[in-house]
Structure 1
Amino acid sequence: MGKHADERRVDLVPGDTKTAVRSTQPPNQVQHKPVLNSLVGGAMAGAVAKTSIAPLDRTKIMFQVSSNRFSAKEAYRLIYATYKAEGLLSLWRGNSATMARVVPYAAIQFCAHEQYKRLLSRYYYPTGRPLPPLPRFLAGAFAGVTAVMLTYPLDMMRACMAVTHKEMYSSVVHMFVRIRREEGVATLFRGFSPTILGIIPYAGLSFFTYETCKNLHRDYSGRREPSPMERLLFGGCAGLLSQTASYPLDVVRRRMQTSVVTGGARMALVHGGSGHGHPAATAHPMLLMGEPRGAGGAYTSVLSTARLIVREEGFRRGLYKGLSMNWVKGPICTGISFTTFDFIQDVFRWLGLT
């Protein structure tokens, strides 16, 4: 049995301990396995990572789309007030929409990254050497853009569910039907431009940093693979750098995405109405504080939204609002995501499914 198994495996490159299945298996099975493994690993990585930081993520979005100043004390107050008013599970409000988006998004992103790495490797280093810095960045950026383009409406719906009460949208399907009927299908793509612009540095730097850390670890430690704790650390560094670089565009896209459910209620209140009947009428009370913003189509473009935020809230307090919370949740989420994906791939290799 062992001899037969050995005959079916070959070294990829001299000195490389990785093995590959010989072409004695059907060609389509050999080609499809890496894709399926990446899809499954990416889906599980995204689900585990996002669920672990869902309460912090929802709190961050609430501050991003409001005019209130952010601080750790105010964030704690908001989390506690939400828990007292709506219960513990309300802190995971919108997580179903998050899973509906993150599972396909992460699956596509990780799978696309592996495929882009293979394509770029054939051009740069067909012998199997690690990619140089620029194509390493491009592989991550292309993977992020691919995933966003295929899953964006789910991200928009998730953001809206995070800033509304459960009476407004009972499920992702209910939200889709209501927005399509009351606002039009085009509303599902509000904020698409800043998302694409932001995902390039975010995904590019994230994968670039993580892959670079692993390469440096292998070169200086003499060990082929890092430990789980080292992977968490490398992923944390990747999340810290990538989210800091792309954060202003993240704030802009959240304002554009959620204006459909936050702007109308504020305008109704200002003009003496209750806002009842408008989709924004059940927006979180925090989002109805302060002056109404986004009137006159101010949230219809990246530049107009950014200018409005800077004018009313300042550059640092506006475009970087909630960044300190992202420095807590971002590294945790990214570290868990990369570590989970690598762990799943190790399991597949151990089971002989690669």
Structure 2
Amino acid sequence: MSTTRAVATAGKTNAAAATTVTTTATSVTTLHNTEQETTHKRYHDKHSANYVIRTGAAGGIAGCMAKTVIAPLDRVKILFQASNPQFQKYAGSWSGIFQAARQLYILDGYRGLFQGHSATLIRIFPYAAVKFVAYEQFKHVLMPTRTSENHVRQFIAGSLAGITSVLVTYPLELVRVRLAFEIRKDTRIGIRSICSQIYSEPAASRRVLFHFPLRNFYRGLMPTIAGMVPYAGVSFLTHHALSEFCRNRLSELTTDPSLVRGKLDGRGQKRRAPLKTWAELVVGGLSGAIAQTVSYPFEVIRRRMQVYGALDPARFVGIWETTRTIWIQNRFRGFFVGLTIGYLKVTPMVAVSFTVYNRMKLLFNVD
């Protein structure tokens, strides 16, 4: 009898222990799943601060690297677009690009080729960060699922992202252009002196009752926005379309699918396989070239308006007068002056920008 009781008691003890182990295992599994869900949400929820910070960092780094690659070309292009008297003789030919760069080197060494680049980096990091973060946010709102993606929504998301980034960082862009436009052998032109000059320029319109000097930092804003709509829209649209074409029709251009198999993006769907680096560069370059062609006339008008304050501080020139002046001087060709160097600049810049951004997203584990 006592033996039977002992066996029964041992059985109950073992059952209780098994129940405890099972409960503990279940609790551990639940905790682990909760931690995974929390981590996934923190990294992939597009509205979370962690996602915004990581996406912004990826975009800012990509923008800085892209701008550094083409800084000398950017300087020459601004001088051509703004019709700097010392460099107009070089405009209009491929050889003129290199002759102008050589002249800059003779005047001020390597520093001359990168004049204004410090202001560029100060501007481009927040500009690129805001642009890519805004694009991801607008894309999430307009296209919450893969089935809702289409060309019109891609264009709208890209355009809105471009406009947002311009509104946030435009004053820094104006300072950068002024720095790049200045050619003086006797003095060093710094950011402080350029800002002081812009701030002191007269009011934008005589009809304005009160003069707000900070408005001067937004000279050329309207043609910038007008040009940004087709540029950013076409750029993001073309990059997405070409990338999807390569993934669907030319799968050999993607990296090993096993690298991302089974992983989900922020919308709970399988992550797109990244393109090989050279294919990503080609897709980005084509996107930049197409977008540059569509939006270039607006960029020429914008550059002219931005530097008029340096040429004649006592007079403000608006968008329509600037357009009319360009037409009188050079007709249709005037709106595309410097487009050749624009291709040389934008093609590698956009290629590097998209490529670095996508690689940084993988590194930072964001989608």
TM-score bin, normalised by smaller chain: 0.7 to 0.9
1:207 aligns with 2:236: yes
CA distance in 1, matches of 2:77, 2:361: 32
Alignment of 1:298-309 (within 5 A): 299-300=317-318, 302-309=319-326
Counterpart of 1:80 in structure 2 is 102
Give 1:310's aligned residue: 327
Q: Distance in 1 between matches of 2:97 and 2:44?
A: 50
Query: 2:171: which partner in 1?
Result: 153
Choose from 351, 358, 363 the match for 1:335: 351
Counterpart among 190, 214, 230 of residue 219 in structure 2: 190
Q: For 1:190 and 1:229, locate their aligned partners in 2 and report how far apart those are by CA, in whole Å.
A: 39
Q: Give matches, 1:50-61, under 5 Å.
A: 50-61=67-78
- 1:140 alignment partner in structure 2: 158
Q: Give matches, 1:167-316, under 5 Å.
A: 170-183=189-202, 184-222=213-251, 223=254, 224-263=273-312, 297=316, 299-300=317-318, 302-316=319-333
CA distance, structure 1, for counterparts of residue 201 and residue 323 of structure 2: 27
In the alignment, the residues of structure 1 paired with residue 142 and residue 308 of structure 2 have an alpha-carbon distance, to the nearest angstrom, of 40
Partner of 2:364: 348
Matching residue of 2:266: none
Instruction: Pick closer, same or farther for the CA change 1:177–1:204 going to 2, 3 Å.
Output: same
Correspondence for 2:117: 95
Given candidates 23, 34, 58, the residue that maps to 1:41 is 58
Which residue type is aligned with residue 158 of structure 2? G
Q: Deviation per CA, 1:151-183: give whole Å up to 9, x if none.
A: 111111111110114666643234223422355
Q: Provide Cα deviations, 1:69-128, integer angstroms capped at 9, x if missing partner.
A: 422222222111110111112100000111111111000000100111111113xxx3x3
Structure 2 unaligned runs (5+)?
1-27, 203-212, 255-272
Contact 1:97 1:154 in 2 (8 A): yes
Aligned pair in 2 of structure 1 residues 163, 135: CA closer, same or farther (>3 Å)?
A: same
Secondary structure in 1 aligned to 2:312? helix
- 1:20-45 Cα deviation digits (max 9, x unpaired): 95137786995222211110011001
Contact 1:161 1:169 (C-alpha < 8 Å) held by counterparts: no
| Distance in 2, Cα, partners of 1:191 & 1:24 | 44
1:22 is paired with a residue whose SS is helix
Amino acid at match of 2:322: T
Q: Which structure has the larger Rg over C-alpha atoms? A: 2
Q: For 2:40 and 2:348, locate their aligned partners in 1 and report how far apart those are by CA, in whole Å.
A: 40
CA-to-aligned-CA distance 1:126-155 (integer Å, 9 cap, x gap): 3x3461110011110000000001111111
Aligned twin of 1:117: 139
User: What letter corresponds to residue 360 of structure 2 in structure 1?
Assistant: I
- Tell me: CA distance 1:21–1:237, structure 2 relative to 1, closer, same or farther (3 Å): farther
- TM normalised by structure 2 equals 0.76
Aligned pair in 2 of structure 1 residues 310, 168: CA closer, same or farther (>3 Å)? farther
Asked if 2 retains the 8 angstrom alpha-carbon contact of 1:169 and 1:175, the reply is no
Report the secondary structure of 1:106's partner residue. Answer: helix
For residues 236-269 of structure 1, the C-alpha deviation after alignment (integer angstroms, 9 at most, x for no partner) is 01100001100001000000000111235xxxxx
Q: Distance in 2 between matches of 1:259 and 1:194?
A: 14
Q: Which residue, 318, 331, 336 being the options, matches 1:320?
A: 336
Number of paired residues? 302
Matched position secondary structure for 1:320: coil
CA root-mean-square deviation: 2.7
AA of the residue aligned to 2:138? Y
Relative to 1, partners in 2 of residues 1:226 and 1:251: Cα closer, same or farther, differing over 3 Å?
A: same
Distance 1:83 1:182, change over 3 A: same
CA displacement 1:199-231 (0-9 Å, x = unmatched): 000000001111111111121134422111111
Amino acid at match of 1:158: R
Measured in 1, the distance between the counterparts of 2:39 and 2:150 equals: 33
- 1:216 to 1:24, Cα distance in 2 relative to 1, 3 A: closer
- Hey, what's the Cα distance between the residues in 1 that align with 2:320 and 2:147? 42
What does 1:66-77 correspond to in 2, within 5 Å? 66=83, 68=88, 69-77=91-99
Residue identity in the other structure for 1:102: I
Tell me whether 1:162 sits opposite 2:211 in the alignment.
Answer: no
